[in-house]
Structure 1
Amino acid sequence: MILSFFSSKSRNHLARAFHSGKRFLNPSSGYIVFRAICVNLKHRRWSVLERLSPKLTSSLVSRVVCEFQNSPQLALDFYNWVGGLFSHSLDSCCTLVHVLVKSRRFDEVLFLLRNLITEEGTPPLVLLEVLVESYRRCCSSIAAFDALVRGCTQVGATEGAYDVIYNLRSRDCFITIHAWNNFLNHLLQLNEIDRFWNLYRGMGSFGYIENVNTFNLVIYALCKEYRLVEAISVLYRMMKGEIFPSVVSFNIIIDTACKIGNLGLSLKLFKNMTMMSGDFVWPNSVTYNSIINGFCKNGKLLLAEEMLHKMVKADIEPSVRTYATLIDEYARWGSLEEALRLCDVIVERGLVPNNVVYNSILHWLYREGGIEEASLLLADMIDKHICPD
C-alpha cells in the first residue's frame, strides 16, 4: 500500500536501496574475515590472527596489506608474519612494494625487489606486469617503477632494467629522470660506453630534459675516454643552459687530468671553479685529494704538501687517506724521515694511522734494511690491534 504513493522510478530506487541494505546486513564470509583481520591487526592481537590464519588466502593478504597503506609498518609486520605461514603470491609482494613506496621506505622496497629477482628468480618484466596491475588499486606512484629499475641495476640485471624502461615506454609511462640517470650510471660502471651514448642521445624521444646529474654522467663518460676538452665544453654548456655545475662536475675532470699527468689543467680548474660556477662551487676534500695524489704520482712532493697546507687553511680536514698518499710517496722516494714526520702529524691532529700508513712504511723500511725499526713498528701495530696486510 505504501509503495503506491511513489512513482515507478521511486519504487525502483527503493528496491535497489533495500537490496543494497540487505547485502550490507548480510556481508560475505570473506568480508567478515577481512574486517576481523584488520581490527585485530590494528591492535596487534597476533594470537587472534593466529586463529584466523586458516582463512587466509593470497588475495586476502594483498587486500589487508593495501588496507594499511597509512600504517606501513603494520602492513610490513603482517606481510612478514604471513611469510612464516605460506609463500607469498607475486601480487601480495607487489602490493607491499606500492605501500612501502608511498611511505618512501625505499631501502626496504629495494631489498624486496632484489630478493624477488635474485632469490625467487622472478623476471623483471613479470614483476613489472604485476606492479602495473596493482598500481591503481594501491593508488601508487611512478616511484614504484623507478625502484624496479634501480633494483635491477643493483643486482646486475642490466637487460632486465632496459626491458622495463622500454616496456613502460610502450604503455606511455616513463620512469623519472632520477631512475634514468641511475641506469646511465650503471652502464658507465660496466664500461658500456657505446650503449651509454646511444641511450643518452635517445633521451629526447623519452621526453627527458638533462639535469645536473645527467651532465655529470656525460662528463664522466667523456673523461673515461680522456676527452677532457669536450668535458670542459659540457661545463660551459651547462652554465649556458642555466644549470649550475656541482663540485662533482669539476672533480671528475680534475681527477682525470691528474691521473693522466695533466696537472696544469687540473690546477687551472681548481683555481677557477668558483669563478666559473658563479660563486656556486668551491673545492672540497675530494678536489684537494685528487690534486695531492696527482702531485705525488708525478714525484712533486713539495707541491703536494703545499696543497695539503692550503687544504687545512681552507678549513677542510685532511683524512688519514690524504696523509697516507703523501707518506707512501715520501717512503717510496727514500724520505723515510719525512714519512715518519707526517705520521706524527696524523697523531697530533687526533687521527689514527691505519694499516695503509703502517704497511707503506713497513714495506720501505724492510726494503731499505731497517729491520729493527720495522720490528718496532710492527710491535706498535700489534699493540693497537692493526693487522698488517
Structure 2
Amino acid sequence: MFAHVFSRRTSFLVRCFHAGKKFSNPDPENILFSALCLNLKQRRWNTLNQFSPSLTNPLISRVLREFRTSPKLALEFYNWVLENKTLAKSSENRFEASCVMIHLLVDSRKFDEALSIMVNLMSVEGGNLSPLHVLSGLIRNHQACDSSLDVFDSLVRACTQNGDAEGAYKVIEQARAEGFCVSVHALNNLMGCLLNLNEIVWFWKVYKEMDSLGYVENVNTFNLVIYSFCKENKLLEALSVFYRMLKCGVWPNVVSFNMMIDGACKSGDMGFALRLLAKMGVMSGSFVSPNAVTYNSVINGFCKAGRLDLAERIRGVVMVKSGVECNERSYGALVDAYGRAGSTDEALRLCDEMTSKGLVVNTVICNSVVYWMFMEGDIEGAMLVLSDMIDREMDVDRFTQAIVVRGLCRNGCVEEELCWC
C-alpha cells in the first residue's frame, strides 16, 4: 500500500517537472521547484501545503523571484508562506521571504504594499527588527532580485513614516558605506521628518551633507528649506531661498507659496502674506494659482488677528472670484473665531451654511461650538449641539468629553459632570 502511494506521488512530481522548465541536471530541488510553480499558477493551495515541510529559504525566494512579473501571484504566495503554520515557526523564513517580496513590489511600483511589509517588520508584531537589520536583508537579496535602488528609498520612507528619523539616517549612511546611494527623494523624506519633529539643527546638518555629496536640489528640497525658515519666523530668508530656487532653474509650485504665506500668517505679518498672494502669478510665470490651502492660511491669519470682516471677505468674495471652493477647514477657522469673539449665533449660521453646501460639520467644528457655548454660559445650547452630534452618530471623542466635563464644572453642574467622567 505505501509503495503504491509513494509511486503515485513520485509520478505526480515527475509530471509537474515535465510541465515546467527543463533542467539540464534535474535534482530533487529543481523537481520540487517546478511542482511548486505549476501548482502556484493554478492556485492549488491544498497541494502546496503538502510541500511545506520541504520548503527552504532559498527555495521560497526562488519561487518568489520566478513570479516577479506577476507580483499579485507572488504576493499571494508570500502571504501563504506567512500564514503556513509549518513555515511560520521560522522567523528566518518570514524575514528572507519579506526581503525578496519587498524587492519585487518596489520593482513593480507597488510602493504602498512594500512599505506595509517594511513597517510591519519594524513593528512589535512583525519582530521589532531594526532598520539596519532590514537593510542588511535587502542588500543581501539585491543582486539575486536584480532590483533597483528605489528599494532603499522605500526603506527610508518606511522609517520616516514611523517617525524614526534616526533609523532613516542610519539606513542612508550604511547604504552609502555598502555602495548604495539613496536618491534626493529619500533625503527630502528624512529632512521633512526632521522638520516635523522640530529637529532644526539636525535638519541643517543633513542639508549640508546633501550639498557636499553633490545631490541636486529639486523643488521639494527648496520647499523644505523655505519651511524651515518659516518655522523660525525668518520670512526674508525664506524669500531669499525662493529667489535662489528660480536662479537654479527650478520652478516653484503652489506649496512653495503656501509655506511662505502660512509662515507670514502665523507670525502675524498679514501684509507680507497678502503681497505674496497678489504676486503668485507674476512670481511663478503664471504657472501657479492660489488653492484652498492658500486661502485657508489667510483666513486663519485674519481670524487670529481678530479681523473677521477680512476673513469673511476672503471666503465670500476673493475665493468666489478665483473659483476656489471653501472646504471644512475654511469654515472651521471662522466658526472657532466667531465663538472666540462671543458670536456663537454666527458660528451656528456658518454650520447651517456648510450643510446647505453639502459640507460635513465634523466633530472638530462641533467641539468648537460646544466649547464656546459653555464659555458663554449657554449650557442648554451646548447640550443641544451635543445631543445633535449623538443623534447623527458623530464620533464623540475624548476631546468632546473633556470639553463637556470642563464646561459643566465651570457652570456649577456637578451632578451632570459626574455622568461624563
Where do 1:1-389 residues align within 5 Å?
Answer: 24=23, 26-83=25-82, 84=84, 85-86=86-87, 87=90, 88-118=93-123, 119-309=126-316, 310-386=318-394, 389=400
- 1:318-362 CA-to-partner distances (Å, cap 9, x unmatched) read 112211211222232223343333233223322232333333333
Structure 1 residue 195: Cα displacement: 1.2
8 Å contact kept, 1:270–1:283: yes
Q: TM-score, length-normalised on structure 1?
A: 0.88
- 1:355-380 CA-to-partner distances (Å, cap 9, x unmatched) read 33333333333443444444544443
Q: In structure 2, give the amino acid aligned to 1:75.
A: A
Q: 1:299 to 1:162 in 2, by over 3 A?
A: same
Q: 1:26 to 1:257 in 2, by over 3 A?
A: closer
Q: 1:110 to 1:373 in 2, by over 3 A?
A: closer
- Aligned-partner SS, 1:40: helix
- 1:254-293 CA-to-partner distances (Å, cap 9, x unmatched) read 1111111111101111111111011011111011111001
Q: In structure 2, give the amino acid aligned to 1:165.
A: I
Q: In structure 2, give the amino acid aligned to 1:127.
A: V
- 1:81-136 CA-to-partner distances (Å, cap 9, x unmatched) read 12223132533221111111111111121111122223313232232222222112
**How many residues are matched?**
367
Q: In structure 2, give the amino acid aligned to 1:62.
A: S
- The structure that has the greater radius of gyration is 1
Q: In structure 2, give the amino acid aligned to 1:250.
A: F
- 1:57-82 CA-to-partner distances (Å, cap 9, x unmatched) read 11111111111101111111112212
- Aligned-partner SS, 2:271: helix
8 Å contact kept, 2:153–2:186: yes
Range that drifts further, 217-226 or 326-335: 326-335
**Structure 2 residue runs without a partner (length 5+):** 1-21, 401-421
Distance 1:126 1:332 in 2: 51
8 Å contact kept, 2:81–2:94: no
- Aligned-partner SS, 1:78: helix
Distance 2:137 2:361 in 1: 52
8 Å contact kept, 2:187–2:210: no
Range that drifts further, 372-381 or 134-143: 372-381
Q: 1:364 to 1:51 in 2, by over 3 A?
A: closer
RMSD: 2.0
- 1:159-209 CA-to-partner distances (Å, cap 9, x unmatched) read 322122112222332111111110111111121111111111121333310
Equivalence for 1:11: none
Distance 1:332 1:27 in 2: 80
Q: 1:96 to 1:217 in 2, by over 3 A?
A: same
Q: 1:121 to 1:345 in 2, by over 3 A?
A: closer
8 Å contact kept, 1:169–1:206: no
- Aligned-partner SS, 1:65: helix
Range that drifts further, 23-32 or 260-269: 23-32
8 Å contact kept, 1:288–1:307: yes
Distance 1:127 1:146 in 2: 13
Q: 1:314 to 1:27 in 2, by over 3 A?
A: same
Distance 1:73 1:48 in 2: 20
Q: 1:352 to 1:89 in 2, by over 3 A?
A: closer
Q: TM-score, length-normalised on structure 2?
A: 0.82
8 Å contact kept, 1:174–1:206: no
Range that drifts further, 231-240 or 347-356: 347-356
Q: In structure 1, give the amino acid aligned to 2:269.
A: N
Q: 1:124 to 1:356 in 2, by over 3 A?
A: closer
Distance 2:359 2:24 in 1: 73
